[in-house]
Chains A and B, each alone.
Chain A
Amino acid sequence: MTIADHVTGSTIAGTAKPADAKPVDSKSVDSTPGDSKPAGAKPRATVPAITLPAIGERELRLDLFRGLALWLIFIDHLPPSLLTWFTIRNYGFSDATEIFIFISGYTAAFVYGRAMLESGVVIATARILRRVWQIYVAHVFLFTIFLAEISYVATRFENPLYTEEMGIMDFLKQPDVTIVQALLLRFRPVNMDVLPLYIVLMLALPLILWSMKWRPDVTLGLSVALYAVTWEYDLYLSAYPNGFWAFNPFAWQLLFVFGAWCALGGARRMSRILASPVTMWIAIAYLAAAFYVTLTWYVPQLSQFMPKRVEKWMYPIDKTDLDVLRFTHFLALAALTVRFLPRDWPGLKSRWLRPLILCGQHSLEIFCLGVFLAFAGHFILAEVSGGAAMHALISLSGVLIMWGVAWVISWYKRVADKSGAKTKNAVGNADLAGGG
């Protein structure tokens, strides 16, 4: 078991050896006869610039961490409680959103990249667009629930302590404008920023994949360039009634494209770097430093040990534009994860991690459910009781409901839809590409 296998999650034993990891070199076309094709893939005339892990077992680590990200996003969307201290944003710069977008890029490229190689650009694009439509509908559904909640609060709540905050309800005065702006993805209430970002990224996916098919490294380079240009010239998408998108797609695309690049053979090629102890120690040192900085936010007494100069250079750590510190923090986390959590780790099959993995496997549904449950949780806290016990109960039942629904969805796939299941494989499997 090499680190390369840890990293990429190639899959069925014996397939997809690192031999096809000299992608740019097109001269090697015929020199890799030993490279057994993934089961089910058609023999291709040329070895493409990208390599795909074989269809086979799911990469459970991806599901695991996406499931984890979904739980963390849910908990972060609830009002802070003790459970909030278990979420990673309290221990460093990056948070669950980074994990989520990266894995979404990875899995989307994995599924639709294969579709593009096997069925062509048009078919793959059509499939991607269908997925975009699903995510869009999910977003509009969530918006409807939000409108119901906010209207309810607006009519019931008149605490004089908060007369000013109630100004947020002003947009209800012109629902025509608000609803149209919401459909255009320009009006996004709090906590509803991730799906629009995901929609835009998925819309760009055909282009990204097409370009990756040609030159993965150039594509990644272009992505980095766009990121740099965004920072230099302050590109953004405007929002309604003012301001801009809380997650700037021009910046966040870097994580998505990086995920795609890793899925299409990049991770394998990086395995040397990832295996090196130097990388490991740099990552550990960086995470420790980030942890210390985070600590100064909660223990202000510590901040006197922070050089003013460093503070000046570092702050603010911008989430909207995916601050470089956040990105590198995610990289460090990811590097350590692939190093210490091999893809064949037996724990991945244990029933203890099963709930997380199940949730990660149906990420769009579970993400939407999480946003809805966060709304509902706020509502119960406000209307029934705001105690800490209630809070813990809500967090816990939210997670259990997510698990339960994920289980039901799997059951539908496994049992209820059985007749159609035989023809399905990873190619058409939207869940794997899922996200949200």
Chain B
Amino acid sequence: MKAKVLLSLVLLCGSLAAPVARAGDAAPGAATAPAACELPSYLLTSESQLPKVAEAVKAGKPLEILVVGSRSTTIPSSEGSSYPARMEAILKEKLPPSEAVHVSVEIQSKRTAEEAASTFVKLMEAKTPTLVVWQTGTVDAIRSIDPDEFRSAVTEGVVALQKAGADVVLMNLQYSPRTETMISAQPFLDNMRVVAQEHDIPLFDRFTIMRQWNDQGQFDLFSPSRGPELAKQVHDCLGRALAQFVIDAAHLEPAQQQN
């Protein structure tokens, strides 16, 4: 009888594992091609919109994008491959050639959402972007900041950015399986979702996207490799996904000349 229990458990387990394992088998080798970046469409769309981006593109004004982030916005010693740079390249490719796209990056290393938000008024005076992509949450999660305080800090930041006349996209934490037992990401992910919902702004779900890639076998995010290759590929895909996300949320027509 016990053997039967065991057997059925093993079978159950096997049938659960099988579909995912198959998906994983197909992926290796495709890592350099954009096929590795594949994502279900719901992760690349948003109910919320980016009216100012839409307006700027419609009016033929240059599209000025500011990425406010922390250290996970960059790859040490290869800036050109980080996701903001990749997003810029992809947007230029996809939007009409007449459209000037410029992405600048503001790194606020080791700053919590609250500390970052306190700089926004000055920051927005210095630069006047059409769109701000605010990537935050990691530092707060590492320091286990009170999630309520985190939420009000993000709210404040978003309000400040909107007041300064920009559209806002929130970007949440990286999926980092290696530190999953040490960093509790969930409350911060939840609170960012709440703020995004409350202010009707798009949330780029970097966490779920990266987890999807890891689960599907496109990237092995457990890899202890010290080389920058994996980081470059992941950032390339993130840049593509973010560009697609912005285009979708702003309802921009991709340029047709690509065909």
Instruction: Determine the residue in chain B with the shortest Cβ distance to A303.
Output: B47
Q: Which residues of B contact A417 (CB under 8 A)?
A: none
B179 touches A168 (CB 8 A): yes
Q: How many residues of A contact B (CB 8 A)?
A: 61
Q: Does B228 contact A (CB under 8 A)?
A: yes
- Complex-state Cα separation, A378 to B180, whole angstroms: 8
Q: Does A286 contact B (CB under 8 A)?
A: no
Q: Which residues of B contact A165 (CB under 8 A)?
A: 72, 138, 142, 174, 176, 178-179, 183
Total A-B pairs in contact (CB under 8 Å)? 158
| Interface SS majority for chain A | helix
B76 touches A163 (CB 8 A): yes
A160 touches B226 (CB 8 A): yes
A82 touches B20 (CB 8 A): yes
- Complex-state Cα separation, A161 to B214, whole angstroms: 14
Q: Which residues of A contact B139 (CB under 8 A)?
A: 164, 167
- Complex-state Cα separation, A157 to B223, whole angstroms: 9
Q: Tell me how far the C-beta of A145 lies from the nearest C-beta in chain B, rounded to whole angstroms.
A: 11
Q: Does A392 contact B (CB under 8 A)?
A: yes
Q: Which residues of A contact B47 (CB under 8 A)?
A: 300, 303-304
Stretch at the interface among B8-16, B31-39, B116-124, B158-166: B8-16
Q: Tell me how far the C-beta of A364 lies from the nearest C-beta in chain B, rounded to whole angstroms.
A: 21
Given contacts A80-B215, A164-B70, 17 further A-B contacts (CB under 8 A): A159-B223, A160-B75, A160-B76, A161-B231, A163-B72, A163-B76, A164-B138, A167-B142, A242-B143, A243-B143, A299-B42, A381-B222, A382-B222, A386-B220, A387-B24, A393-B13, A396-B10
Q: Does B17 contact A (CB under 8 A)?
A: yes
Can you identify 5 A-B contacts, CB atoms within 8 angstroms?
A79-B177, A80-B215, A83-B16, A157-B224, A165-B174
| A289-321 to B contact mask, C-beta < 8 Å, 1/0 | 000000000011101100000011001100110
- Complex-state Cα separation, A150 to B178, whole angstroms: 10
Q: How many residues of B contact A (CB 8 A)?
A: 61
- Complex-state Cα separation, A303 to B76, whole angstroms: 38
Q: Does A391 contact B (CB under 8 A)?
A: yes
Q: Does B257 contact A (CB under 8 A)?
A: no
B180 touches A246 (CB 8 A): no
Q: Does A148 contact B (CB under 8 A)?
A: no
Q: Tell me how far the C-beta of B169 lies from the nearest C-beta in chain A, rounded to whole angstroms.
A: 15
- Complex-state Cα separation, A296 to B16, whole angstroms: 24
Q: Does A375 contact B (CB under 8 A)?
A: yes
Residues of A372-423 contacting chain B, CB below 8 A: 374-375, 378, 381-382, 386-389, 391-393, 395-396, 400
Most buried by A among B14, B16, B174, B181: B181
Instruction: Determine the residue in chain B with the shortest Cβ distance to A386.
Output: B222
| B48-85 to A contact mask, C-beta < 8 Å, 1/0 | 00000000000000000000001110011000000000
Q: Which residues of B contact A299 (CB under 8 A)?
A: 42
